[in-house]
Structure 1
Amino acid sequence: MLLVVIGGAMVFEFAGRGGRALRALLMWAVIIAGLAAGYDWWQQTYGPRQQVLENGARIEVPAGPGGHFHLEAVLNGTPIDFIVDTGATSVALSRDDARAIGLDPDTLRFGGQAVTANGRVATAPVTIAEFAIGDAVDRDVRAVVIDSALQDSLLGMSYLRRFARVSFEGDLLILER
């Protein structure tokens, strides 16, 4: 609606002065694109995050801008962002996140395979010594490192099964122990 109003005003104002109107139109396009990019960045940086309630017995995760549920966990003392993926069998770490928690992907044996939306990828089994979400701490959590260009680590069913209840209430994922 804002674009229609601005566009209509510009057409009326600059009738007969095409070059000036084009520059003004481009300026408004850049301003609007900048505002949209800034809002997206703000949502990702300062948007709603999970809440850990009842001393870790209940975790509420709001849906992110893309509709995915992003959860932050602390693995071996390092914060790692996950996408909650009920279609993933296990916890799947990207090579970068594996490196961040003290694992060296170059020394791992990628003998397993996983089927992803992008096809088959090689996997290496690992054990995460400490996996914490708020006050809830789990030890010796099995996971895999994905040998691909995977950017985001996935929190799959092998970890989600640790909760007594996994439910969705609108745009809110609820994990209860």
Structure 2
Amino acid sequence: MNDAKPRIGRLMWLAAWLSLLAVLVLGFDAWLEGQHNPNAELMVVDADGPVEVVLQRSRSGHYIAPGRINGEPVQFLVDTGATRISVPLSLAQRLGLKQGYASQATTANGLVTVYDTQLDEVRLGSIVLRNVAGNINPGMPGEVVLLGMSFMKDLEMVQRGDTLTLRLH
């Protein structure tokens, strides 16, 4: 019977260490996600002033933010070098986007074939635009949407330090 007490004590210490390790891993994972996407919880501000969104730059130097295309949640990467909003094929299929005419686009990876599409509604925070031109890009991996100039052209952009303010004209 006396052997049971030390064994239970060791199990309690092991459980305590495993719990501490789990808390540290979860905390570190949350910290890493915050470094990758500081705009994960994009706030929508309802005010009498201009409609605007303020984005924080990620650790990698990009502006990444959640948004919606045709009411469905997506992850945007602001890309002022992209002429249109560019949607990966797998995501376009999930969103039910119609694939239009094929054309060639020059990307950082060279010349690619993309397909025209029309996005009924694109939402970034409190900024909502309708009937926005986009491309479906079959060669684009992942599910991140490049938020190109077909959306950005209607916005005033001000970059200061690590923030990008987008304001609807």
Query: Which residue number in structure 2 is paired with residue 28 of structure 1?
Result: none
Q: Matches of 1:156 and 1:170 in 2, distance apart? A: 21
The answer to whether the aligner puts 1:154 opposite 2:146 as a matched pair is: yes
| Cα displacement (A) at 1:96 | 2.2
Segments of 5+ residues of structure 2 without an aligned counterpart are 1-24
1:6-155 alignment, distance < 5 Å: 39-41=31-33, 43-44=35-36, 49-55=41-47, 57-103=51-97, 108-109=99-100, 111-151=102-142, 152-155=144-147
- State, as a whole percentage, how many aligned pairs show the same letter: 27
Query: Which residue number in structure 2 is paired with residue 172 of structure 1?
Result: 163
Matching residue's letter, 2:56? P
**Taking structure 1 as reference, are residues 47 and 137 closer, same or farther at Cα in structure 2, changes over 3 Å only?**
closer
CA contact (8 A) 2:84 2:151 kept: yes
**Corresponding residue pairs, total:** 142
| Cα displacement (A) at 1:149 | 3.4
State the secondary structure of the residue aligned to 1:100: helix
CA contact (8 A) 2:52 2:127 kept: no
CA contact (8 A) 2:120 2:132 kept: yes
More helix by share: 1
Cα RMSD of the aligned pairs, angstroms, is: 2.8
**Taking structure 1 as reference, are residues 134 and 99 closer, same or farther at Cα in structure 2, changes over 3 Å only?**
same
The two structures have a TM-score, normalised by structure 1, of 0.68
State the secondary structure of the residue aligned to 1:53: coil
Greater CA drift, 78-87 or 41-50: 41-50
Segments of 5+ residues of structure 1 without an aligned counterpart are 1-32
